Structure 1
């Protein structure tokens, strides 16, 4: 609401025609010369302390001692509350005279802007101070009424001192609501539209194999975003005016701006009229980037990341901002600023067609090396630690090398991962990894080394795909067999769609990923199999904030996952490559890998198929604290395909979240709905990040 009142200041005088208080004072002093006026003011200032000391003027809004004594004598020994220094508690009632007008929420908006409402727990020291608050609220009420198109509105207040606490009534009389009579837009000079702007297209679809035809730039004579004949609030009008040049800056006119905006009222017709003057500026094409501040990062690498071909596409401010956001996401810079090189366009003038306009990119490099650590605790697996070292600019082209060392009950070792962005093409990454690990779980014990290499590519907006080759060799012992050497070769492919608004703490959007993993190798004998999995998660915020945007005070989150493996008997598949469920990452309330078939020793056997369901309601109690009731379900099967939504074990619990800039710290307490013999009745999980 305060933004609505603030926005109204920006065209208040043009609409209302009223003179400000300052102009009234200037009129009062007009008969005096400037020097005489200054002398008069100085004399008045010197006299004020004397007036206060003799009782004619009180300090701080209270009466002097003589005035207080006089008041006390007149009231039979009791001082008038208007002059008392004790707090005056009060209640506030906001009344809108025309109830039909309150469809626009005037009462609620007034409460948000009211000093009386905001300071209700800090009562004033006198009735005079209370009256000052009320008078300030009437001024705010008038600004509110005007900002909501009630330009004939009135506001008043009354104090009922006969009751305790004092009853304050703030009355709003909106009157008729004005509508928009005219919103004309004039362009000066008349905009040039080059031929290259009239036949525009852009790549769409997977791999950019399709092209979408774009309309030529438009110059509407009536302001878009508002409707003539309907009321338009101050916020809506200002937003529409500010959006007009931004629209032109996305369509090839980087210097477009509003040169003048005039507003007037027609009281007879009860309309608001607007006349907008726009300077479109010369047309331009997207040019090369000019980088300043990059010392260790190669400018050629930053040039490869630009999502446009220089000299071919009309200027698009949104495209430039997307590029700046890409640079911010690299982890290489503390700050990134992007702007058109306006001086170059002014020199070229754009005559004979569109000029090619460079973009100035100013960056401040951040440290490229970092050391980090993380910790987790689960009832079933105990304490887990991990340290990491990372270099984000290994060969000066944004190459990232990350080395991690997990140390936990079930896994120890070292991992290394390498990423080269913009490999061959802008939207493609080269990925490679290697690790040497020892794993010791209830299902198996393994010592092995592995390596993988592959490509990951953005296929379209929100779509990614990847291929890789994975190899692993080592020794493996499960609960049914003695230790044997084994080896695996696995080409892999995945397809992913991600529309989440935040990777660490999403409140809207969804993610879907499909994986295909054929593999072959030897264990006790040769084996080959085909594995595949599908995982999907969705996030929905049912509440809305005052601006109508999704409110993360409540987020409903759900996830389903399933996988299948065919082509080989379960006994021939190495136990480390089978499916498992149970624990923090799948079904909370059950021990790690506890769900599914068991061997003769009642240890987890693993399976060839699985399914998992996770449901959460994420409530934010404060800005940093949240509660999350959840329900998890899942099962592992020896069959090749899972039994959809059948024969599943479920766990339920309650989680606590502490939200930080790097993601929430998570504490979950869960209990199994069907307890497995020997397992604890409750499982506790502590880690960083949402569960999914």
Structure 2
């Protein structure tokens, strides 16, 4: 057998002043701590594995004196996790075992077992005694991982100083007498450094770190010395790697003013703003020390441009809304300033009838970031639509212009002007309408991911003053939507999501508001289980008529079964109402259902099945919805 601490850390260094000390105290390095992976199932007996000619196969057995550590060891072990993949040869198996020594040691340190003894046996022979020229091809080797874990260690009084001043570290998770898990030390160290760097001390660093385990009392001594250096300000900013994108535009959008205090959060924000342009494959902002001015930090924005043109397609499908297909062409950098031109088109409600039942959309969009400073963008859009829902038919064109401004990382505002001309048919009566409006939108977003959020809050407040020229009606269409997300565990396997939305049209009677401007409820993004626009008031002919207000609530429990597959259960409730007061002048409708999510890097692929608790005559008694992204 071999003592862990004496075998596996020789020659590994994080740059700290660590050395191997004589018992009963020893020093070790945290440089080999990394996220582990491993399989939960394994074949533990070689007799259960069938040998294959020309291949090296093996079974892995774990023998540990503390049962609660068996899964910890299995998760850290390559021998266990990669058991289903046969090593290329005998040496590859030995290499896998040698790597396991470091991984298992680090995992045991993570559980505060600093005096553990590890032995890895190959067919009963200790690993360090197995000859390198051993031939295991065509055989099944028995690999045994033996661990004598020993006692858990606790922290002695930590000795931490910043700029030679003592620092109380209880709030950072280092407390005398508590279980001395190794990740607590790294977490505390990183938290202290992050705190000082966010204050503007860009080059705060650990200058001394000594961690010793005293076996006589099963205590871990932690010594940290941190120097912050001078308060740093942003110096010169330059760009590297730009080809078609103008460097001055990159610098302006990054918005890193010379003389401003350097903070990592500022760099993170600038990186995100540049990435969101869609022009770059990668954006990395590097800092450089200045020998002549230690109070300044020069910045280099390294970019790699992507191809400017993209063609994309997408599809949605459901039993209540039919099939929808869409496509687009986009140029992301038209004039070298990240100006974007997008041509898009879509056809929806395929399968719900003939051509006269389908919806058609086409649009030309122009977007210019940095139109009036680094935080303000311009967008212009011309669109043409043919819509054929049950409530009405519409043939129209629209011109929209808007400005959007990012107030801070979480808050943005958008406002503009819209002009629309349309031919509208309702219950066989056709009218021509011209509408001018001024939509305004305020958005607050702290979600961790827009397509698959697990924490945070999202809210949108909307107001659209509108003037209908034909009947001279004036009204304001308002709405508020909010959603929040809560993860019950650190891995966000179980997430509870909630949504509420309400809206009201103020200033006109229902008859004076064009039907396409009214509120409707029901469908995939509203109340699942009901058809599009179905959950609300109706005309005498039985078609949806829309309302002056709406109210919707949703609760959804999302559970990730595997890394790629998740399941959900949900309840949606709400409706549209003839009164301008949500909840008055109509009924509430409730849909319940379940769904499946297939998780991809581009967002989850969603499939939901819902049933209405209040059946509507002539409407389906269930709803099936397929799409990309969570429902909200």
Give me the TM-score of the superposition, normalised by structure 1.
0.71
Say whether 1:590 aligns with 2:590: no
Post-superposition CA distance 1:74-110 (Å, at most 9, x none): xxxxxxx9xx9999989867443xxxxx9xx656534
Question: Residue by residue, what CA displacement relative to the aligned partner does 1:406-452 show, whole Å, maximum 9, x if unpaired?
Answer: 22244213112222222323222222222111112211111111112
Contact kept in structure 2, 1:151 and 1:178, CA below 8 Å: no
Work out whether 1:533 is the aligned partner of 2:496: no
Aligned to 2:330: 390
2:301 to 345, 350, 361: 361
Instruction: Compute the displacement of 1:176 (Å).
Output: 6.6
Contact 2:435 2:467 in 1 (8 A): yes
Structure with greater helix share of residues: 1
Task: Look up the match of 2:353.
Answer: none
**Deviation at 1:678?**
1.8
Residue 688 of structure 1: which of 625, 628, 631 is its match?
628
Distance 1:535 1:139 in 2: 51
Structure 1 residues without counterparts, runs of 5 or longer: 20-80, 97-101, 124-132, 191-218, 546-550
Whole-Å separation in 2 of the counterparts to 1:650 and 1:176: 54
Alignment-derived partner of residue 236 in structure 1:
184
CA pair 670-17 structure 1, distance change in 2 beyond 3 A: same
Q: 2:561 matched to which residue of 1?
A: 621
8 Å CA contact 2:483–2:498 kept in 1: the answer is yes
Q: For 1:335, which of 282, 292, 298 is the aligned residue?
A: 282
The residue that corresponds to 2:153 in the other structure is: 177
Task: For 1:407-446, list aligned pairs within 5 A.
Answer: 407-409=347-349, 410-446=358-394
The answer on 1:510 being equivalent to 2:450 is: no
Deviation by residue 1:141-191 (Cα, 9 ceiling, x = unmatched): 776555544545567999xx9xxxx9x99674634734234524475xx9x
Contact 1:450 1:472 in 2 (8 A): yes
Contact 2:153 2:220 in 1 (8 A): no
Judge conservation of contact 2:523–2:529 (CA < 8 Å) in 1. Answer: yes
Query: Do the aligned partners of 1:387 and 1:404 also contact (CA within 8 Å) in 2?
Result: yes
For residues 556-598 of structure 1, the C-alpha deviation after alignment (integer angstroms, 9 at most, x for no partner) is 2221111111222212211111111122221222222112222
Distance 1:183 1:690, change over 3 A: same
Q: Secondary structure at the match of 1:663?
A: coil
Residues 568 and 595 in structure 2, CA contact (< 8 A), matched pair in contact too: yes
Counterpart-to-counterpart distance in 1, 2:338 and 2:82? 53
Question: Which residue does the alignment assign to 1:289?
Answer: 237
- Residue 263 in structure 1 maps to residue 215 in structure 2: no
Return closer, same or farther for 1:412/1:279 CA change in 2, 3 Å cut-off. same
- Distance in structure 2 (CA, Å) of the matches to 1:139 and 1:435: 61
Relative to structure 1, the CA distance from residue 370 to residue 181 in structure 2 (aligned partners, 3 Å threshold; closer, same or farther) is same
In structure 1, what is the Cα distance between the partners aligned to 2:111 and 2:629? 43
Equivalent residue, structure 1, for 2:577: 637
Distance in 2 of aligned mates of 1:308 and 1:322: 10
2:193–2:204 Cα contact (<8 Å) kept: yes
Cα RMSD (Å) of the superposition? 4.0
| Distance apart, 1:626 and its partner CA | 2.2
Tell whether the 8 Å contact from 1:15 to 1:265 is kept in structure 2 after alignment.
no
1:148-547 alignment, distance < 5 Å: 148-152=111-115, 172=148, 174-175=150-151, 177-185=153-161, 225=172, 227=174, 229-230=176-177, 231-241=179-189, 244-266=192-214, 271-276=219-224, 278=226, 280=228, 283-311=231-259, 313-342=260-289, 345-346=290-291, 348-350=292-294, 354=295, 356-409=296-349, 410-479=358-427, 482-523=429-470, 525-545=471-491
Distance 2:435 2:98 in 1: 81
Does residue 666 of structure 1 match 2:610? no
Tell me by how many angstroms 1:500 deviates.
0.8
Shift of 1:14: 3.2
- 1:566 is matched with 506
- The equivalent of 1:14 in structure 2 is 19
Offset at 1:236? 2.4
* Deviation of 1:537 (Å): 1.1
Deviation at 1:229, TM superposition (A): 2.7
Please list the CA deviations of residues 229-259 of structure 1 after superposition, one character each: whole Å capped at 9, or x if unmatched. 3353332223444555555444444444434
Shift of 1:223: 6.9
Supply the distance in 2 between the matched residues of 1:386 and 1:473 (Cα, whole angstroms): 24
Alignment of 1:18-57 (within 5 A): none
| Pairwise CA distance, 1:498 | 0.9
> Matched residues in 2 for 1:88 and 1:331: separation?
48
The 1:176/1:473 distance shift into structure 2, 3 A limit, reads closer
State the shift of 1:329 in Å.
Answer: 2.4
> CA separation in 1, counterparts of 2:298 and 2:562?
46
The number of residues matched between the two structures is 561
For residues 645 and 568 of structure 1, the distance between their equivalents in structure 2, rounded to whole angstroms, comes to 16
Counterpart of 1:442 in 2: which secondary structure? coil
Question: Which residue does 2:355 correspond to in 1?
Answer: none
Unaligned runs of 5+ in 2: 25-46, 87-95, 125-141, 350-357
Specify whether residues 473 and 235 from structure 1 end up closer, same or farther in structure 2 by C-alpha distance, changes over 3 A only. same
Distance 1:365 1:254 in 2: 28
Whole-angstrom distance in 1 between the partners of 2:395 and 2:465:
22
CA distance in 2, matches of 1:243, 1:442: 58
Aligned residue for 1:236, secondary structure, equals helix
Higher deviation after alignment, 241-250 or 469-478: 241-250
Over alpha carbons, which structure has the higher Rg?
Answer: 1
1:529-572 superposed Cα distances (whole Å, 9 cap, x missing partner): 22211111112221233xxxxx2x22222211111112222122
In 2, distance between residues paired with 1:139 and 1:426?
48
1:647 aligns with 2:587: yes
Q: Which residue of 2 aligns with 1:208?
A: none
Alpha-carbon spacing, 1:318–1:143, altered in 2? closer, same or farther (3 Å): closer
Tell me the CA shift for residue 280 of structure 1. Answer: 4.8
**Against the structure 1 CA distance between its residues 268 and 500, is the aligned structure 2 distance closer, same or farther, given a 3 Å change threshold?**
same
